[in-house]
Amino acid sequence: MKNYVIKREAFQAVGIKREFSFVNNDHHAKIPQMWDELNKDGTTDTLVKLNNGQIKGILGVCVMDKNKQSQQIIDYWIAAEYKGDKPNGLESIEISASKWMVFEVNGVMPDAIQHAWKTIFSEWFPISGYEHAGIPEFEVYPEGDPYNENYYSEIWVPVK
């Protein structure tokens, strides 16, 4: 899996947030259902139009709240980088400045991204010399057909 390091200042993203459980890998089924719902109702089209930041594409932001960690719950956002006042009907999240390890992911969604996450934490982190920086991590989904075997996406993991 190809990867590279990038440094970014803090930025804002706007979108929709939901909670998902890690118990029995429940999130593996329910996060793709959220994507399907927001694609069908036009929310992702709205986010594409709002995207005015450096990162081009829709973000899947993963936030592990320390207060919910023992319950194995994650907040997951479908969002876009956005500069400006929060649009009506959306929530905003501040992504802290960090050094990021960006992993290139190729393949059909959601299988390719789920496999990449597993590889990052089970194989890459143990031998990388890096530690997770403890802030939200995210996926980047550029325009294109996510069900195409050549679809390109990214995973951004904050590292120190």
If DSSP states are collapsed to H, E and C, what string results for 92-160? EEEECCEEEEEEEEECCCCHHHHHHHHHHHHHHHHHHCCCECCCCEEEEECCCCCCCCCCEEEEEEEEC
The conformational region for residue 41 under phi > 0 = left, psi -120 to 50 = alpha, else beta, is alpha
28-54 per-residue burial string, b: 16 or more CB within 10 A, e: under 16: eeebbebbeebeeeebbebbeebbebe
Residues in the chain: 160
**Mean pLDDT of the region 32-40:** 96
Predicted structure pTM score: 0.94
State pLDDT tens for residues 50-60.
999 999 999 99
pLDDT at 84 over 90: yes
- What percent of the chain has a predicted confidence (pLDDT) above 90? 88
| Whether the Cβ atoms of residue 62 and residue 51 lie closer than 8 Å to each other | no
